[in-house]
Amino acid sequence: MTETTATQKEPVKASEIDPKFKYELSRMHGGEKLLRCFQCGTCTSDCPVARFSDTYRPRTLIHMAQLGLKERVLNSDTLWLCAACFTCTDRCPQGVDVASVIRVLRNLAAEKGIVPQVFKDQAASILESGYAYKIPSLRIKKRETQGLPPLPKGNPEKIRKALKGVKFLENKEKEEEQHEQQEQ
Amino acid sequence: MSSKNSKYLIFLGCAVPYRVSSYEISARKVLQKLDVKLVEMPEFNCCGLPLDPVSHETMLILAARNLALAEQTGLNILTLCPGCAGTLKKVNKILKADKTLREQINGHLKDSGLEFKGTVETKHILQVLTEDVGLEKIREAVVKPLVMLKVAEHVGCHLLRPKEYIGFDDPEDPQTLKKLIEATGATCLDYINETECCGAPSVGVSDKVALQLARDKLNHVKMVEAQALITICPFCHIMFDTNELRIERMFSETYGIPVLHYPQLLGLAMGITPEELAFNELRVDTSKLLQVIGVH
């Protein structure tokens, strides 16, 4: 994924602003304290990713959310750079769970179908095997020679059952259907 | 130790069996010698953490499924991965406190005959070693004190943060791993930005940023002349050990710093051989280090 912030640099149009967005976010689990942020910048100055990225700034993402720049923030590539180390959350003087606000924004972006490939791969693997990575069968067999007990089995059928009604699975199943139709 | 804190359900997670079996092999060896019994999970699914960015609800359900499975066994959970420990701890706390959410999540588990009740505790191996085994017993188990070694530690993020949910050690000045390292006889060196992230969660989104984080840490570890870097997380270990050569090539650096899982360091001090502790699976050459210790 490229690190572009064109979406952040273009001038803001009034029609882009969704004044209800911040309230929508603050009703979501993890977003509750968004309105408390007074833009001090502790999150950005303490962020290990921001030190090495020219574009990732947690304060900017929080500001965009507060201003109601919904489409802009949800389409921003930088949203996915957060390493979820929770330093910002632990150090915010206003008690804003910054990392979780960013997670809430990512969840909303994902609902619109914006998900980096790495997360798509992990999701597919979990639904297939229970494990987030496709563990090669050779590795599973090797466990015996390494003196390790057999790897506990996943139960993909039951995982899907448990996720019934969750938007994430519904979207995933739609994707799978489309994929099957394309193949036929 | 009572049976409650000497017998655990081991939750391997995904990264350990996928790429870091040296961690599992060494942890099992050391725990066995310290009389901590491990029982395998009857069934497994990912703790949920990797999917939290995509769907928080999915993460909650996946974590609750594991907790409910564990509750049926009546055993507490021990994890090797701090990400798994953090997630299971956090979800346990959230669901215990929020009845409405608990009922909603339990609605998803009902069809599989599972129910989250909140009766199981999750501990990372470091927590089990400090709280249940105890530093005293660990010191007694050391037969070959590693007094000739000066190492650095990288404890990572999810063992400690967010502190509101984890409540273990001090995220700004963590001491647990340092004390455990000192219990082996080795010296634990301080270095700049010790508590910072290894970069692993950004791999796949921006490898460049991720590897720069790891490089920055390796630079600081090198400056204090640490003979090894000690980790307690499969992802941190991949960043520093598996990727060390790649970082050296990418940024024209030279490190040659061996990266050991803490159980490997402890195991050496307990007289377990490097072969038994799966040193052969490490990417960075450890022969010099083993020579210093006098086991090779």
Report the C-alpha gap between B185 and B174 in whole angstroms: 19
Mutation target to probe the A interface, by most A beta carbons within 10 A, among B20, B29, B209 is: B209
Q: What is the mean pLDDT of residues B162-180?
A: 96
Number of structural domains (chain B) is 2
* pLDDT tens-digit map of A79-129: 999 999 999 999 999 999 999 999 999 999 999 999 999 999 999 999 999
Residue B111, burial from CB neighbour count under 10 angstroms (0-12, 13-18, 19+)? exposed
Q: Does A113 touch chain B (CB under 8 A)?
A: no
Domain boundary among B99, B125, B151: B125
Q: Report phi then psi at B121, rounded to 5.
A: -105, 150
Q: What is the mean pLDDT of residues A129-146?
A: 95
Nearest to B194 by CA among B178, B181, B182: B178
CATH code, B21: 1.20.1050.140
Within the 141-180 window of chain A, which residues sit less than 8 Å (CB to CB) from chain B? 142-143, 146-155, 158-159, 161-169
Q: What is the mean pLDDT of residues B141-168?
A: 97
Among partner residues A52, A140, A159, which is closest to B209 by beta-carbon distance?
A52
> What is the end-to-end Cα distance of chain A in Å, rounded?
31
Question: Which residue in this structure is represented by tokens 């079996």?
Answer: B21
**Domain assignments of chain A as residue spans, ordered by start:** 14-111, 117-183
Domain boundary among B73, B104, B125: B125
Report the C-alpha gap between B97 and B93 in whole angstroms: 6
Cα B180 to Cα B78, B127, B169, B232, B266: the distances in Å are 17, 10, 13, 11, 8
Q: Between chains, do B51 and A1 touch, taking CB under 8 Å as contact?
A: no
Q: Between chains, do A167 and B46 touch, taking CB under 8 Å as contact?
A: no
Residue A5, pLDDT above cutoff 80 = no
Q: What are the chain A neighbours of B197 within 8 Å (beta carbons)?
A: 48-49, 83, 85, 87
Q: How far is B211 from chain A (nearest CA, A)?
A: 10
Mutation target to probe the A interface, by most A beta carbons within 10 A, among B60, B205, B236, B279 is: B205
| pLDDT for the residue A173 | 87
Cα B85 to Cα A114, B49, B273: the distances in Å are 28, 10, 29
| pLDDT for the residue B50 | 96
B157 and B266 housed in the same domain: yes
Cα A66 to Cα A27, A57, A73: the distances in Å are 13, 15, 10
Question: Which residue in this structure is represented by tokens 């599992």?
Answer: B24
Q: How far is B257 from chain A (nearest CA, A)?
A: 22
* A67-70, long-range: CB < 8 A, 24+ apart: A67/A12, A67/A17, A68/A17, A68/A18, A68/A19, A68/A20, A68/A21, A68/A22, A69/A12, A69/A16, A69/A17, A69/A18, A69/A21, A70/A16, A70/A18, A70/A21
Q: Does A124 touch chain B (CB under 8 A)?
A: no
B96 and B153 housed in the same domain: no
Minimum mean pLDDT among B3-12, B91-100, B137-146: which range?
B3-12
| Strand-pair partners of B187 | B150
| pLDDT for the residue A3 | 46
| pLDDT for the residue B148 | 97
CATH of the domain spanning A14-111, picked from 2.60.40.10, 3.30.230.10, 3.40.190.10, 1.10.1060.10: 1.10.1060.10
Residue A184, pLDDT above cutoff 90 = no
B141 and B235 housed in the same domain: yes
Owning domain of residue B156: 134-293
B139 and B117 housed in the same domain: no
| pLDDT for the residue A1 | 45
Report the C-alpha gap between B127 and B237 in whole angstroms: 19
Residue B31, pLDDT above cutoff 80 = yes
Residue B20, pLDDT above cutoff 90 = yes
Residue B153, burial from CB neighbour count under 10 angstroms (0-12, 13-18, 19+)? buried
Report the C-alpha gap between A89 and A104 in whole angstroms: 14
| pLDDT for the residue A6 | 44
Give kind and range of the element (H or E) at residue B17: helix B15-19
Q: How far is B205 from chain A (nearest CA, A)?
A: 6
Report the C-alpha gap between B250 and A6 in whole angstroms: 28
B118 and B154 housed in the same domain: no
Work out the pLDDT band at A2, boundaries 50, 70, 90. Answer: very low
Work out the pLDDT band at B296, boundaries 50, 70, 90. Answer: low
Q: What is the mean pLDDT of residues B142-157?
A: 98
Q: Between chains, do A148 and B28 touch, taking CB under 8 Å as contact?
A: yes
Report the C-alpha gap between A183 and B281 in whole angstroms: 41
Q: Between chains, do B196 and A1 touch, taking CB under 8 Å as contact?
A: no
Q: Between chains, do A90 and B163 touch, taking CB under 8 Å as contact?
A: yes
B142 and B279 housed in the same domain: yes
Report the C-alpha gap between B220 and B184 in whole angstroms: 23
CATH code, B253: 3.40.50.11810
* pLDDT tens-digit map of A6-39: 455 788 999 999 999 999 999 999 999 999 999 9
- The answer for residues whose C-beta is within 8 angstroms of residue A2's C-beta and 6 or more apart is A77
B141 and B111 housed in the same domain: no
Work out the pLDDT band at B1, boundaries 50, 70, 90. Answer: low
Nearest to A85 by CA among B206, B86, B212, B243: B86
Report the C-alpha gap between A84 and A95 in whole angstroms: 16
Q: Between chains, do A89 and B161 touch, taking CB under 8 Å as contact?
A: yes
Residue B280, pLDDT above cutoff 50 = yes
Q: Between chains, do A131 and B17 touch, taking CB under 8 Å as contact?
A: yes
Minimum mean pLDDT among A90-104, A164-178, B5-19: which range?
A164-178
Work out the pLDDT band at B173, boundaries 50, 70, 90. Answer: very high
Q: How far is A184 from chain B (nearest CA, A)?
A: 29
CB neighbourhood size of B225 (10 A): 11
* pLDDT tens-digit map of A44-71: 999 999 999 999 999 999 999 999 999 9
Report the C-alpha gap between B234 and A132 in whole angstroms: 14
| Strand-pair partners of B230 | B153, B260
Share of chain B above pLDDT 90, in %: 98
Domain boundary among B80, B96, B125: B125
Q: Between chains, do B58 and A164 touch, taking CB under 8 Å as contact?
A: no
